[in-house]
């Protein structure tokens, strides 16, 4: 009651509508950018799935250990101060990310800044949630709980949807005009016997006019005639060597660093990880299904620029329409700059060996200034958070209960903190409870890291070949809306019959829709509505089933110290996403998307097992 009365005076003098929505927009947005948008950013900049999954999974760490430094926020300064100070720090962090992206060291530098942003965001979460309880009366807290949740979801849509769409728009408007390559499977066409550059490229003297991408030929004809692998493999290898030697493939810094370590591999790498990876690749990898000695015939197209670009231009040929029996075998991502603009980059198109008749496909060759698009996007974020920090510095009320802790009593405070922490691990069936927190989303934790790379990757490597803007629409907008709808519906039904009644339906509904990605990987549909519907079904199921997880964390935290114990639960929740996410990219690159999504379904089995073991009261969760 004293907390309620202390907050009522000053809090009542300022309408909570002036700051509650903006506060929770600022809370959700950096979480979305750090843990989701960063994946898409690095994928579009050419980082491997293995590195993306491993390094971005570590970005969950601040939310894992957040309960450990929450007492620091309570003791040092007011929660109000922490809110606007961390928002200004977040603005500076996103500006720093923007400055690193055009540099040669962008991956290491931007990752380091993202880690600092993640710690700032987790600290902001601690302060914002504590301030919400202090600045509002109990009646206001009840009224605004749905509003704060809604604006948190809006921030996710803004981050994973609108910001990604913005980056996609900048890419499409800063690139060269798109060109198309028409490919006809036509019997009787002569076979490619050697891979050589088609034409000498352009000379420096003829570099006049607008900067455009030139293809030769624009209409390619390939004979639908099966050939042996011994004929085709050397031709593909020669094309890859040509593109690599002429700088069209850029070796990333993290790959170079790994090469240096090859001579001093650890015992674990030599005896465990590499042999296991080899076994997976031989038995489940994309090459494992190709037992025949027959390969499809190929054709070659060369690309070059009309004049020096003055910057790096990333060119991405991809299947656009027509017969999917015609695919891209080499040259999915090519990089031009002033050193190789007039040299021909080789794009190899290959037919399915089973193809016998005439057919056609069209490949779209797109380009864009990818570093610029993400640099502008990060600067937009920086400006938003600098504005949010200044807004909240002046608009947030000063509740009487929002005071720094007694720094003279820090030893006693620390002792009490560890007593509270220890009491959590003395709960009945604590091992089962921890396994539930860690394994309920074991499959989903691996899936979530690979969804955006899958949507963005070229069809020739198993992806769906969407543009950055399309990913923002499908996953960041439609997906988040479906996720929100699923969460709202899950909360409504659980409040009527209780969690125990809905627990198993929610477990099934969170996991089984993951199979939508098995369908997408097998069928590779090019219908945007079909892709959107499949993603929406999976995200709706995730939102509905995640309700059970959130309610059970409340169930675990019941009793004395419920706030601290709930914070510990959220830390284990984050750890359950962080650890499986680390290896997901490594596994996907070995076995391919189709087998990876099948593995994700198998990885949901531990969730079903732990749900059978957890204790749960029949009346918990029912609306009184």
Same domain? 444 vs 587: yes
Q: Which two tokens stand for residue 590?
A: 């070995």
Residue 411 within a domain: no
| Whether residue 6 has pLDDT greater than 50 | no
Q: What would the two tokens of residue 518 be?
A: 């098995």
Number of domains in the chain: 3
**pLDDT score for 436:** 94
- 35 and 134 share one domain: yes
Q: Is residue 490 part of a domain?
A: yes
Domain membership flag for residue 410: no
- Do residue 314 and residue 378 come from a single domain? no
Domain hosting 503: range is: 418-624
Residues 53 and 154 reside in one and the same domain: yes
Percent of the chain as helix, strand, coil, to the nearest 5: 65, 10, 25
Alpha carbon distance 524, 531 (integer Å): 9
Supply the pLDDT for residue 266.
55
Per-residue model confidence as pLDDT tens digits over 268-311 = 556 656 676 666 666 666 544 444 577 888 999 999 998 898 88
CATH number assigned to the domain comprising residue 595 = 1.20.1250.20
258 in a domain, yes or no?
A: no
In a domain, 256, yes or no: no
Looking at the fold, whether 391 and 242 belong to one and the same domain comes out as no
User: Closest Cα to residue 375, out of 109, 232, 170?
Assistant: 170
Residue 332 lies in a domain: yes
Contact 436, 98 (CB under 8 A): no
Specify whether 481 is located in the same domain as 565: yes
Residue 433 predicted with pLDDT over 90: yes
Return the percentage of the chain with pLDDT > 90, whole number: 29
Domain check: are 335 and 445 in the same one? no
Instruction: Identify whether residues 168 and 218 lie together within a single domain.
Output: no
The larger pLDDT score, comparing residue 546 to residue 461, is at 546
The reply to whether 33 falls in a domain is: yes
Question: Model-level pTM?
Answer: 0.79
The set of residues, in sequence order, having a beta carbon less than 8 Å from that of 370 and lying 6+ positions away, is: 44, 45, 171, 314
Q: How confident is the model at residue 564 (pLDDT cuts 50, 70, 90)?
A: confident
In the chain, count H helices and then E strands.
25, 11
pLDDT the model gives residue 382: 96
- Specify whether 85 is located in the same domain as 152: yes
pLDDT at 267: 57
Averaged pLDDT, 501-521: 93
Distances (CA, A) of 531 to 163, 327, 364: 20, 20, 19
pLDDT by residue (tens digit) across 90-119?
999 999 999 999 888 899 999 999 999 999
Contact status, residue 412 vs residue 75, Cβ threshold 8 Å: no
CA distance 193 to 606: 53
Residue 123 has pLDDT above 70, yes or no: yes
Same domain for 447 and 583, yes or no, is yes
Question: What one-character DSSP code corresponds to residue 102?
Answer: T
Q: What is the pLDDT at residue 378?
A: 95
CB neighbour class for 165 (10 Å; exposed up to 12, middle 13-18, buried from 19): buried
Answer yes or no: do 399 and 500 share one domain.
Answer: no
**Which band of pLDDT confidence, cut at 50, 70 and 90, is reported for residue 534?**
very high
Is residue 282 exposed (0-12), middle (13-18) or buried (19+ Cβ within 10 Å)? exposed
Pick the last residue of a domain from 405, 428, 460: 405
Residues 144 and 10 reside in one and the same domain: yes
Does any domain span residue 259? no
């Amino acid at each position: 009651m004293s907390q309620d009365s202390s907050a009522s005076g000053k809090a009542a003098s300022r309408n909570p509508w002036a700051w509650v929505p903006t506060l929770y927009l600022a809370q959700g947005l950096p979480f979305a950018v750090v843990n989701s948008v960063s994946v898409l950013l690095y994928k579009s900049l050419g980082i491997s799935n293995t590195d993306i999954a491993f390094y971005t999974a570590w970005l969950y760490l601040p939310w894992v250990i957040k309960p450990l430094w929450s007492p620091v926020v309570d003791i040092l300064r007011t929660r109000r101060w922490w809110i606007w100070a961390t928002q200004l720090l977040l603005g500076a962090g996103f500006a720093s990310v923007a400055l690193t992206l055009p540099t040669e060291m962008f991956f290491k530098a931007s990752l380091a800044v993202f880690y600092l942003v993640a710690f700032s965001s987790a600290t902001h979460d601690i302060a914002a949630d504590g301030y919400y309880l202090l600045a509002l009366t109990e009646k206001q807290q009840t009224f605004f709980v749905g509003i704060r949740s809604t604006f948190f979801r809006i921030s996710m849509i803004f981050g994973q949807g609108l910001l990604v769409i913005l980056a996609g728009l900048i890419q499409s408007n800063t690139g060269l005009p798109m060109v198309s390559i028409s490919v006809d499977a036509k019997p009787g066409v002569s076979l490619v016997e050697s891979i050589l550059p088609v034409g000498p490229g352009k000379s420096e003297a003829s570099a006049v006019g607008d900067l455009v991408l030139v293809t030769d030929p624009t209409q390619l004809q390939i004979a639908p005639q099966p050939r042996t692998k011994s004929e085709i493999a050397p031709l593909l290898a020669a094309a890859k060597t040509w593109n690599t030697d002429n700088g069209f493939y850029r070796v990333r810094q993290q790959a170079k660093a790994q090469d240096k370590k090859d001579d001093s591999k650890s015992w674990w790498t030599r005896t465990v990880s590499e042999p296991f990876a080899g076994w997976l690749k031989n038995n489940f990898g994309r090459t494992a299904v190709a037992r025949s000695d027959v390969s499809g015939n190929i054709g070659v197209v060369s690309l070059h620029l009309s004049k020096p670009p003055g910057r790096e231009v990333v060119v991405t040929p991809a299947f656009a329409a027509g017969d999917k029996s015609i695919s891209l075998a080499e040259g999915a991502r090519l990089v031009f700059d002033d050193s190789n603009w007039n040299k021909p980059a080789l794009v190899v198109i290959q037919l399915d060996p089973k193809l016998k008749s005439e057919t056609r496909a069209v490949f779209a060759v797109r380009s864009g200034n990818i570093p610029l698009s993400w640099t502008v996007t990060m600067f937009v974020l920086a400006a938003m958070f600098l504005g949010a920090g200044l807004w909240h510095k002046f608009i947030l009320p000063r509740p009487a209960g929002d005071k720094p802790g007694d720094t003279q009593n820090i030893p006693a405070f620390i002792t009490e903190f560890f007593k509270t922490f220890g009491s959590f691990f003395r709960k009945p069936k604590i091992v089962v409870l921890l396994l539930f927190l860690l394994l309920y989303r074991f499959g989903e934790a691996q899936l979530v890291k690979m969804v955006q790379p899958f949507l963005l990757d070229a069809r020739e490597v198993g992806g769906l070949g969407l543009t950055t803007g399309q990913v923002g629409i499908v996953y960041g907008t439609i997906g988040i809306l479906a996720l929100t709808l699923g969460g709202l519906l899950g909360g409504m039904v659980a409040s009527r019959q209780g969690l125990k009644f809905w627990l198993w339906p929610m477990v099934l509904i969170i996991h089984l829709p993951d199979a939508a990605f098995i369908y997408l990987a097998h069928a590779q549909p090019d219908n945007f509505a079909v892709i959107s519907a499949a993603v929406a079904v999976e995200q709706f199921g995730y939102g509905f089933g995640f309700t059970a997880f959130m309610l059970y964390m409340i169930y675990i935290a019941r009793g004395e110290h419920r706030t601290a114990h709930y914070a510990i639960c959220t830390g284990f929740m984050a750890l359950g996403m962080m650890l499986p996410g680390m290896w997901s990219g490594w596994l996907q690159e070995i076995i391919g998307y189709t087998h990876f999504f099948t593995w994700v379904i198998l990885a949901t089995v531990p969730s079903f097992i732990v749900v059978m073991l957890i204790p749960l009261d029949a009346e918990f969760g029912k609306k009184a």
